[in-house]
């Protein structure tokens, strides 16, 4: 059975876990105690991921890191979420790379700083800058989704899975669904798909509610 090293608070882990879930593959989560430093230990780096990150997918002798690579592997294995032809696959890759650079990277950083650092250590002076970067990304995505059900073609793909990765989380990070009606409707469509689960229902959480 496929194993996915992950934890519930990780939006990048969620992208991989959701792709596994929606593709119908059998898999099990392997909990990474990220906030206690497990991913940065010499043991984890030696045996799981030298980059010191999650997610990590293990399928027999295959071990993969980086959510976009894992998503591509899942599509190659199942024929799902990957696009119908080369043009669609390139367009999916374009949006996955855009998400990793413009959306998820900013959302993940700001969400961590706002919610998971001790309040006294939060660098509030950088929050407006990151929120501005995110507003620009939300604008791109919201405008693209005008008149569309999905980011690429007429079916959900890894482009959708990647770009939604952080947007289902409840913690504040400069995103209010009500301000972005096309994104809001798109997230509802994703949540209605067979196999969809909220990240905190799909993966074990590193922090209980009371510790955030």
How far, in whole angstroms, is CA 47 from its chain's centroid? 23
Tens digit of pLDDT for each residue in 103-156?
999 999 999 999 999 999 999 999 999 999 999 999 999 999 999 999 998 999
- pLDDT bucket at 209, cuts 50 / 70 / 90: low
User: For the residues 57-85, what does the mean pLDDT come to?
Assistant: 97
Query: Residue 210: pLDDT above 60?
Result: no
The conformation of residue 4, written as its DSSP 8-state character, comes to E
List the CATH code of the domain at 2-80+197-211.
3.40.30.10
Q: Which two tokens stand for residue 93?
A: 């890759």
How many CA atoms are closer than 13 Å to the CA of 49, on its beta-carbon side?
A: 20
* Per CATH, domain 86-191 is 1.20.1050.10: yes
**Residue extents of the structural domains in the chain:** 2-80+197-211, 86-191
Q: Which two tokens stand for residue 105?
A: 């990277």
Tens digit of pLDDT for each residue in 9-46?
999 999 999 999 999 999 999 999 999 999 999 999 99
Distance, in Å, from the CA atom of 55 to the CA atom of 199, rounded to the nearest integer, reads 13
Q: What is the pLDDT of residue 207?
A: 83
User: Do 77 and 20 form a contact (C-beta atoms < 8 A)?
Assistant: no
Q: Which residue shows structure tokens 């289902």?
A: 168
Query: Residue 72: pLDDT above 60?
Result: yes
Name the residue among 130, 116, 157, 98 with its Cα closest to residue 9.
116
Tens digit of pLDDT for each residue in 149-185?
999 989 999 999 999 999 999 999 999 999 999 999 9
């Amino acid at each position: 059975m496929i194993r996915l090293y992950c934890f519930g608070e990780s939006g990048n882990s969620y992208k991989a876990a959701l792709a596994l879930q929606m593709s119908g593959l059998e898999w099990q989560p392997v909990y990474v105690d990220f906030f206690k430093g497990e991913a940065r230990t010499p043991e984890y780096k030696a045996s799981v991921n030298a980059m010191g990150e999650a997610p990590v997918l293990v399928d027999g002798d295959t071990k993969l890191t980086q959510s976009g690579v894992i998503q591509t592997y899942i599509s190659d294995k199942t024929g799902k979420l990957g696009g119908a032809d080369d043009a669609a696959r390139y367009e999916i890759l374009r949006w996955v790379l855009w998400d990793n650079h413009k959306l998820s990277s900013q959302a993940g950083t700001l969400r961590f700083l706002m919610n998971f650092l001790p309040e006294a250590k939060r660098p509030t002076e950088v929050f407006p800058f990151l929120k501005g970067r995110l507003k620009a990304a939300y604008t791109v995505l919201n405008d693209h989704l005008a008149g569309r059900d999905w980011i690429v073609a007429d079916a959900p793909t890894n482009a959708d899975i990647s770009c939604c990765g952080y947007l289902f989380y409840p913690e504040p990070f400069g995103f209010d669904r009500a301000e972005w009606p096309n994104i809001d409707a798109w997230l509802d469509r994703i949540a209605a798909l067979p196999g969809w689960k909220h990240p905190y229902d799909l993966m074990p959480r590193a922090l209980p509610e009371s510790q955030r």
